[in-house]
Chains A and B, each alone.
Chain A
Amino acid sequence: MAKTTMIKAITQALEDELKRDKNVLVFGEDVGRNGGVFRATDGLQDKVGEDQVFDTPLAESGIGGLAVGLALTGFRPVPEIQFFGFVFEVMDEIAAQIARTRFRLGGTRKMPVTIRAPFGGGVHTPELHSDSLEGLMAQTPGLKVVIPSDPYDAKGLLTAAIRSDDPVVFLEHMKLYRSFKQEVPDEAYTVALDKAAIKREGKDVTIISYGYMVHESLLAADELAKEGIEAEVVDLRTVSPLDEETILGSVKRTGRVVLVQEAQRQAGINSQVAALIAEKVILSLEAPIARVDAPDTPYPFSDAETIWLPNKQDIIEKVKETVNF
């Protein structure tokens, strides 16, 4: 047990799985000798060799095709897309190929692929690095979409993703890579891919969130507590498919819900969660379902991130509106 950052927890999970199973292959742009642009794969090529950890030409669609072909020949590919804004180049391979291979072959083949990619705002990246595009993935049948918010979950969820025989898109928020440390077991462990986590218990209102917004939600909950409002914070962890049981259970207990995402209002996952709640527990609601999200523009120029990205204050305001409805 040691305190570690999310990026180190991710490296640990990759190292454990590479060593445990020789069929696990890590590849992408600059993931080999360089150890990745964020050092997520730092030292892995030296430890397990170039056969298992290797660089690719600069072409995302080719990387996706490589993953499909390697999976068909018995490997467990863990490709990296350098920034998730570049997913458009590989949308066909992910959404039209990897996601539907098992289905189109009538269940006679599997696609044990884990696609890792960083995303997320607040670190002043250039264009198309920070966009939250999990909504595109979540709308694709056949994919599991996982977004950890802390080092413990990151290691356990990534280990589970790599061991899963289903394709998983594993999105890593850049602002969380090194922002804090957490106790993480040295040995390998898994966190279930279909379970949300209650990161703070509360009785007055449910805040449902994922990724970096979990932390803004927790900060908001601390301040709200000072005013006597006890917020329960649910971290979805897997944004598709949703853990309906945990979501609905919490909303039924509190009777109020605020959905928080970094993505634009028309994107992300909030509307899916809202529909689920409206459909299944509307009679438990004491106030309308509320949403915190970003404006419906393309991701902002980096200097405008602070006025564009949703934050703690937006969450506090929305919670108060909901509680005082």
Chain B
Amino acid sequence: MAQKIDFEALKTISPSEIKPLQVLDENGKVIDPNFFPDLSDEQIVELFKQMLWSRVLDERSTKLNRQGRLGFFAPTAGEEASQIASEFAMEKPDFLLPAYRDVPQLVLHGLPLEKAFLWSRGHVLGNEYPEDLAALPPQIIIGAQYVQAAGVALGFKKKGAKNVAYTYTGDGGTSQGDFYEGINFAGAYKAPAIFVVQNNGYAISVPRAVQTAAPTLAQKGLAAGIPGLQVDGMDALAVYLVMSEARKYSVAGNGPVLIETLTYRFGPHTLSGDDPHRYRTADEEAEWEKKDPLVRLRTYLDEKGLWSEEQEEAYIEEVNDQINEAMKKTEQAPKQKVSEYLQNVFVETPPTLEEQIAKFAAKEEA
């Protein structure tokens, strides 16, 4: 099938022509059948289930955090189309470089859920990654994942692998130097990377307009000479379409793509004390809630008779069971040991550390 999106043209598009691509309107109706992704009904149901899984995970994680059973947590509700539909378009050997909010993608990419919980609690076992998991743990330094993605993508290109590196940042992250360096390096090497900017309107309390005078974030691709496009980040089918087409374009050797998803986080920045009511209005929140990505896709499936309330209830129960199971494993994790920490610093441990290892090991045994 012909490429639905002319990526080459996007390298020279005027910023004023950048418009968010949509597949479903807010009532769940298909806007233009020519821009409908190659997904079967079963696949769309599966995509919806993964988004629902993420919403339930977000709700439960918030509660578990309030109970003190989870630590650091950056809420994801509202961003399911942006996060889950983009992950849905990727393949297992594609390399994911997530930011701190992108835990759902990591779990769907293969990270066991209990490890995601252990990461939240600050336990090394959460970061011991299975051999075949093509991903890094969530990146805390905003922008670092972008320059590293350029490197992974160049590695894939040199190895002749037909895979992409894909990475995420937020709207605030586009102001970082590493954001520009990352997209520019990938462009200069024509490396297979997909850079996603999840524009949820705020970087903690700072609105998007304070980050840059540029009318879109997608147009920042022009500075690197790479295609940049905007997509309705509350529309799962549109995000999937753009990501899967970008993946094809990039894997074919055409270089990287920058994708801006227009989205919203319903919750606070993190659960570490942020209060969005200091900087957002109730009207604005209500406006975005009408665009809830789950509602839109559920309406679409409902009308095709592909999803029912009973199915939803049963599935939510299944997810809750899965979360309970993972929490049980999380809470059974052994205590961390400084002696093991010391062993993880180097492959060839120097004598100076051997001495410290012995000291802590003796304490830990006592």
Contact = CB atoms under 8 A, between A and B. Distances in A.
Interface stretch (B52-60, B140-148, B247-255): B140-148
B151 A107 contact: no
A249 to B, nearest CB: 13
Contact of B151 (A68, A141, A144, A165): A68
B110 interface: no
Given A69-B150, A72-B95, A103-B345, A97 B141 contact: yes
Nearest to A90: B147
Interface string A68-100: 111111110000000000000000110011000
Contact of B127 (A51, A105, A144, A242): A105
Contacts of B152: 69-70, 72-73
Contact of A75 (B158, B161, B177, B185): B158
Interface centre among B127, B161, B345 (most CB of A within 10 A): B345
Dominant SS at the B interface?
helix
A106 B155 contact: no
Interface in B114-158: 124-125, 127-131, 136-137, 141, 144, 146-156, 158
Interface string A191-227: 0011000000000000000000000000000000000
B241 interface: no
Contacts of A93: 144, 147
A65 B144 contact: yes
Given A69-B165, A102-B344, A142-B345, A244 B185 contact: no
A106 B118 CA distance: 12
A56 B185 contact: yes
Nearest to B187: A57
A69 B153 contact: yes
A43 interface: no
B346 interface: yes
Given A61-B177, A70-B154, A106 B125 contact: yes
Contacts of B350: 144, 194, 241
Interface residues of B, number: 45
A103 B153 CA distance: 23
B343 interface: yes
A169 to B, nearest CB: 14
Interface in B155-192: 155-156, 158-159, 161, 165, 177-178, 181-182, 184-185, 188
Interface in A45-73: 51, 56-57, 59, 61-62, 64-73
Interface of A: 51, 56-57, 59, 61-62, 64-75, 92-93, 96-97, 102-110, 141-142, 144, 164-166, 193-194, 241-245
17 contacts: A57-B184, A62-B150, A64-B147, A65-B148, A65-B149, A65-B178, A69-B149, A69-B152, A69-B154, A73-B156, A97-B144, A106-B125, A108-B128, A164-B347, A164-B348, A242-B352, A244-B351
